[in-house]
């Protein structure tokens, strides 16, 4: 029996006991020793309990928890507004008179450019248009006729071409005039073909050298008073207008020199062909 149990029993039983006498004085001393031993036992047990390994103690959370650093982004620099472009000056509309004048000048320039771009020679294509001109000074038609069989009134390669594709009709004329102050004889033919294509084909033959020509009236004995017996060397020109070909020759008839290369005669022939 442990001292603690003995002490307990004594305490339970003590209330009913009679007061102790002097004979129990030694027992009191023994009880004091038991109490001291009991206390020492309690201290030993307490120490052993405290010495036992227990669950690891959890450290109290530090109240001063380090907060994550917050990076503050730098303030955005203010964007400068683009400079307002200067207002364009209002354009003043030209007056109606200026517009009309400008249009007239433009029309003249376009017409001039078109005229300059056209060839001045007589080698015009089938779609060329003749520019109407006035006749040379003192121009007078002396004799004229109309034929419908050009093949029988021509010579050389021209005759062969008309036999392949004959003309619809042709008007032949003899006329007089003056060029550079000198008397000139003009031989003129206006030939109408069935189409612009056939007219272009005949014109190509007529314009070539040594290919013959449609007979002039002098060759067939049709003349006028004061006319020469034959046509002198002359300047030549031809113009096609659709299905019509106009051919003209001009030669001096005063007995002086006359040449197909004479610029004045060639210009005069072109003037008549373009009428």
> Would you state the pLDDT for residue 177?
96
pTM: 0.54
Give the CA distances from residue 150 to residues 110, 155, 181, in Å, rounded to whole numbers and listed in that order: 41, 10, 35
Dihedral angle over CA of 194, 198, 200, 202, nearest 10: -100
Residues 6+ apart with CB under 8 A from 154: 162, 212, 213, 214, 215
> Would you state the pLDDT for residue 93?
56
Tell me the average pLDDT of the chain: 74
Is pLDDT larger for residue 134 or for residue 240? 240
Q: Which of 24-38, 62-76, 239-253 has the lowest mean pLDDT?
A: 62-76
Write phi, then psi, for 40 (nearest 5 degrees): -65, -35
pLDDT at residue 160 tops 70: yes
CB-based contact 250:231 (threshold 8 Å)? no
* % the chain with pLDDT above 90: 49
Angle at 196 between CA 193 and CA 197, to 5 degrees: 100
């Amino acid at each position: 029996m442990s001292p603690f149990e003995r002490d307990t029993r004594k305490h339970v039983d003590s209330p009913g006991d009679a007061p102790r006498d002097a004979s129990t004085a030694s027992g009191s001393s023994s009880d004091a020793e038991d109490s001291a031993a009991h206390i020492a036992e309690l201290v030993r047990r307490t120490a052993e309990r405290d010495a036992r390994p227990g669950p690891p103690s959890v450290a109290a959370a530090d109240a001063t928890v380090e907060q994550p650093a917050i990076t503050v982004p730098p303030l955005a620099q203010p964007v400068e507004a683009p400079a307002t472009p200067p207002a364009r000056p209002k354009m003043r509309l030209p007056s109606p008179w200026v517009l009309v004048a400008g249009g007239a000048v433009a029309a003249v320039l376009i017409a001039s450019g078109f005229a300059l771009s056209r060839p001045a020679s007589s080698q015009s294509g089938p779609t060329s248009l003749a520019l109407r001109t006035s006749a040379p000074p003192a121009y007078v038609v002396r004799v004229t006729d109309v034929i419908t069989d050009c093949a029988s009134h021509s010579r050389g390669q021209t005759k062969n071409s008309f036999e392949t594709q004959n003309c619809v009709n042709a008007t032949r004329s003899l006329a007089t005039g003056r060029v550079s102050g000198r008397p000139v004889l003009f031989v003129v033919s206006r030939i109408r073909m069935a189409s612009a294509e056939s007219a272009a084909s005949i014109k190509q033959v007529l314009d070539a050298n040594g290919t013959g020509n449609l007979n002039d009236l002098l060759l067939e004995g049709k003349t006028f008073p004061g006319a020469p017996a034959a046509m002198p060397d002359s300047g030549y020109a031809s113009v096609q207008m659709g299905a019509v070909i106009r051919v003209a020759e001009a030669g001096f008839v005063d007995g002086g020199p006359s040449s197909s290369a004479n610029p004045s005669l060639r210009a005069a022939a072109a003037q008549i062909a373009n009428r």
